[in-house]
Amino acid sequence: MFHAEEMVKVRISGPKNLMKEIIGSLYDLNLLHVNPFKKKENDFFNSGNSFDEASEYSKTLVELRSVIDLLKIRKSKKIKKIENISQANARFVKIFEEVKFLNSELTGLRKEREAIKRKLEEPVLNLNVKPFLLKGYSNVKLFKGVCQSDFEPELKNEVKSYYLMGNNEETANAFILVVPLSEEEKTRKILLSHGFAESEIKFDESKKELESMLASVRKKIRLKRKELRAIKKKHKLFINSFEQALTQLNEKAEAPLQFASSMRSFFVNGWIPAESLQKFENSLSLAAKKRIHIEKFDAGEKAPTKLENPKPTNAFELFLDLYSLPKYYELDPTVLFSITFPLFFGFMLGDVGYGLLVFLISYTGLRLLKPGKQLKNLLTILLLSSISTIFFGFVFAEFFGVEFVHNPLINRVHGITQMLLISVLVGVLHINLGFVLKAVNGFAKHGLMGAIEEGISWILLELGVALVILENFGMISFGLISGGIISLIALVLMVKGEGFAGIIEIPSAVGHIISYARLFGIGLSSVQLALIINNLAGQHIWNGITGFIIGLIVILLGHAINLWLGVMGSFIQSMRLHYVEFFTKFYKGNGIRYMPFGWKRGD
C-alpha cells in the first residue's frame, strides 16, 4: 500500500534455437519488464539481432499506418483474428496499391483545383474582354496584369501612343495596355518600376470557362474521395486487425535486440512481480521444454515501479502519473494523497449546495460516459472530494452561500482569524507529515542516523523555535535556553545530513507553512462571490415577473460560474499544496514505470 509492488529480478538463459518459443511465451505472459542488455567492452556476449522477418514486418507496418492515416481509420477494439499472415499480406498489398494510386490522382486533382482557383482570383478577369481580341497581333505588344502604383502619368510622358483599358478602382487596378512593338522595352521598364505583376491568364480562358473547369475538377475529386471511403468501409476491420497482428509479430521479432546472445545461447534480464514468479517459471519452462534456466536476484534500486493501492484510493495514482512515479524503494504517497486531497478540497469549497452538484456531476459522469482510465480517475477524485465538500459545508453551514444555521461550528465570513489559524495549523501538520516521511525514506536508505539527520532534525528545529517564541510571549520561562540548544543541535544534524543546502531551505519552509493560508483564502473568495450573487438576485427576484426572470438568470449563471471557479481553484490549489509544499519535503520521484513485455491493450 505504501510501497510499490514487490519485484524480483530474474535472468532467463536458454538455447538460441528455442528463442522464438520462449519469446512467444514471454509475450503471452505479459509479465517481464525487460532490462535491455548493453554491451561493455570485454563482454563475452553480444547484443542480439532481430529475426530476419523483422525488417519485412516494419516495412509493411509503415505502409499500413500510412493507409490508416490516409483513410482516417480509427482504432477500434473490434478485431478479427488473422490466421494466415501471408494471405493477409497479399490482400493488403492490393489495398495499398489501390489506395496509393487513388491518392496520387487525388493530389494531382487538388493541385489543378488550386491553379484554377488562383487564376479565377486574377483581377484581369474583371475586365471582361473577349479572349479572341487578345491574340494574333504582330505590330503591337500587349501587357496585362496589375501595378502597385499608378503608372499612367509617366507613361504619357514617355510613350507617344498607347491604348489602356481598366487601371481604375472598378477593375481593382487590373489593366490591359497595348503599345507599338517599338515601345515595348520602354513601357516594360516603366511598368516594372511601378511593381508590375503580369497575369498568368492564357488568352483563350474566359471566366466562364475557368468556372466550368473548376466545377468538373471538383466533381472528379468528390468521386475519388467516394472511392476511398468505399475502400475504408470495406476493409476497415481487416486493416485494424492486420495492424494489430503485425505489430505483435514485429514486437516479438525485434525483442532479441534487447537480449544478450552468444553463438548458441542467449540470456535476458528483467523484473517480474514477486507474486507471479511461480506462474512465470512454470509456463516458461513448459514452453521451452525445460531447457531453460531462471536465476533470481533481489530487485535492486533500478527496479521498475508498479503502484498497488486499494480501491478507491488508487484513483489518486493519477497525481503521481502526472508528476513523476516514485522510485521502487521509495514511499508511495498515494494513500496519504487520497486522504488529504479531498479534505483540502472540501475545506476550500465547503458548501453543501456546491458539494451536491459536484457529486451529481461526477457520479453521472462515471455512470454514463464510460470514461477512459484517466478521466475515470479524475471523476473518482472529484466524487470523493465532493463528499468532503458536503461535510465541510455542514461545518460552515453554507448552502449556495446562504447560512442555514445561525451559529455554525465555524463562520467562514466573520471568523477570519479563526480560519487563518486553522489553515496554518493544518500547514504545520501537513509539512511535518512530510518531514516524518522524509525520515522514513532516510531510514530506508541510511538507517537510523539517516532518519534523524534528514527528517527528525527539521521537527527538532521547529520545536526549538517554538520554545523560543513561547518564552517571548511570556508563556514559559525556560524556553530561550532550551529552545536555543535544541535548535542548535537540529542545525548541526541538518548540515550533517544534507549539507548547507538544508539551511538555505529554512526560510522557504516558513513560507510553505504560511502558504497554507490559501486554504481559507480561496474559500473566502468563493463565499463572498456566492453572497454577492445572492444579494444581486435578491434585489430583483420579488419585483414582478420580469424581476423574477432576471433574478433567476443571475442565480443560475452566477452560481454556475462560481462553481466552476471554485472547483478549478480548489482542485489546482489543493494539488499545488501537495506538489509544491508537501512533496518537496520527501518525494524524489523519477521512477521507471513497470512496462511488461507483451501486448498492451489500449493505452
Partner 1 sequence: MVELELGMVAFAAAFAIGISAYSAAKAETEIGTAALGALAENEKLFVPSLILMVIPETIVIFGLVTSILIIGLAG
Which residues contribute to the site for partner 1 (CB under 8 A)? 322-323, 416-417, 420, 511, 514-515, 517-518, 521, 572-573, 575-576, 579-580
Q: At its nearest, how many Å lie between partner 1 and the CB of residue 515?
A: 5
Q: CB–CB of 442/498 below 8 Å?
A: no
Which residues, in sequence order, are bridge partners of residue 144? Answer: 176
Nearer to partner 1, 103 or 584 (CB): 584
CB nearer to partner 1: pick between 179 and 575: 575
When the beta carbons of 104 and 374 are compared against partner 1, the nearer one is: 374
Q: Return the number of the residue (90 or 532) whose C-beta is nearest partner 1.
A: 532
By the 8 A CB rule, do 19 and 50 touch?
no
Nearer to partner 1, 443 or 579 (CB): 579
Question: For strand 33-35 and strand 163-166, is the pairing parallel, antiparallel, or unpaired?
Answer: unpaired
- How many alpha carbons fall within 13 Å on the CB side of residue 543? 12
As measured in angstroms, the least distance from the Cβ of 312 to partner 1 is 22
Identify which of residues 479 and 569 has a Cβ nearer to partner 1 in the complex: 569
Say how far apart CA 363 and CA 356 lie, in whole Å: 10
Which residue shows C-alpha cell 522595352?
185
Strands (E) in 188-345, as ranges, are 197-198, 260-261, 265-273, 293-297
Tell me the β-bridge partners of 142: 178
Find the shortest distance in angstroms from Cβ 471 to partner 1: 22
DSSP string, 463-496: HHHHHHHHHHTTS-SSHHHHHHHHHHHHHHHHHH
Grid coordinates given for 381:
477524485
Distance CA 227, CA 233 (A): 10
Query: Which neighbouring-strand residues pair with 266?
Result: 14, 261
In the three-class reduction of DSSP (H, G, I as helix; E, B as strand; rest coil), residue 596 is classed as coil
DSSP assignment, residue 581? I
What's the closest the beta carbon of residue 423 comes to partner 1, in angstroms? 10
Q: Which is nearer to partner 1, 236 or 576 (CB)?
A: 576
CA distance 115 to 545: 61
Distance (Å, rounded) from C-alpha 248 to C-alpha 365? 34
Distance CA 252, CA 23 (A): 7
Q: Least Å distance between CB 570 and partner 1?
A: 12
CB of 305 vs partner 1, minimal distance in Å: 17
Kindly state the cell numbers that stand for 287: 514452453
For the bound state, the minimum distance from the C-beta of residue 203 to partner 1, rounded and expressed in Å, comes to: 49
On whether the CB atoms of residues 141 and 179 are closer than 8 A, the answer is yes
Q: Specify the residue, 235 or 412, whose C-beta has the smaller distance to partner 1.
A: 412
C-alpha 590/C-alpha 435 separation (Å) is: 20
Of the pair 62, 580, the CB lying nearest partner 1 is at: 580
Cα(330)–Cα(2) distance, integer angstroms: 9
Instruction: Determine the Cα–Cα distance for residues 599 and 256; give it in Å rounded to an integer.
Output: 16
Minimum distance, C-beta of residue 121 to partner 1, in the bound complex (Å): 33
Instruction: Give the residue with the Cβ less far from partner 1, 42 or 417.
Output: 417
Minimum CB–partner distance for residue 322 and partner 1 (Å): 4
Write down the least CB distance from residue 516 to partner 1, Å.
9
